[in-house]
Amino acid sequence: MSTATKSRVIGRFGVSYILKSLIVFPMFAFFWFAVLTLMLTFMSEGRDISDTLLIALATVSAIRFSAYYDEDLSRDLAKILPFALLALFLIDASFFNFGDSLEKLEDVGDHAEAIVYYLVFLIALELVLRFGFGFSVWLFTKRPVRTKARPVIRGDDSAAEMADEAVAPEKDGEVGDEGTARESSG
């Protein structure tokens, strides 16, 4: 592969990696932030919308953070909250007040600046987690150790066997090729 081809492949990989990190994953996280805000708004009684936005952001951030630690943990965290909200609704249906929830959702436009900051925070969090995870994998992954290769001896088998014995001499009492213990003559 030529140098130009390698640079194009690396360039394409790098661009797609950055696009995923900067656009795709934060947009997914922001989508679930919006869904969670909606669910919390309908289920929260008397809570200000700014508190609901912050709780939703903290929850999504915790789930994204745990995804880099353990994917199963993040899946479990993502499943717990909807079930907790459903249990809350089943236990006390008075929490669900449709009129008050719609009034709170109308106030979301007043918090547009905070929502933009939350989106920037999600993008920054994703970048920090992605590059931090990549660095930790690079740092703690075992890399093969390069050693000098043994010289290759070509010729008849007896010369190769003598070279093997010279490289790794057997100790007293070791089992040889014939399955018998070799004794040193002394």
Segment 63-77, tens digit of pLDDT: 989 988 888 988 998
Which tens digits make up the pLDDT trace of 104-133? 777 778 888 988 999 899 888 888 888 888
* pLDDT score, position 117: 93
Residue pair 49/104 in contact (Cβ under 8 Å)? The answer is yes
Q: What is the 3-state secondary structure (H, E, C) of the chain?
A: CCHHHHHHHHHHHHHHHHHHHHHHHHHHHHHHHHHHHHHHHHHCCCCCHHHHHHHHHHHHHHHHHHHHHCHHHHHHHHHHHHHHHHHHHHHCHHHCCHHHHHHHHHHHHHHHHHHHHHHHHHHHHHHHHHHHHHHHHHHHCCCCCCCCCCCCCCCCHHHHHHHHHHHCCCCCCCECCCCCECCCCC
Q: Is the pLDDT of residue 162 over 60?
A: no
pLDDT of residue 184: 47
**Confidence (pTM):** 0.62
Does residue 44 register a pLDDT over 60? yes
What is the percent of the chain where pLDDT is above 90? Answer: 6
* pLDDT above 80: residue 149: no
For position 50, what pLDDT does the model report?
A: 86
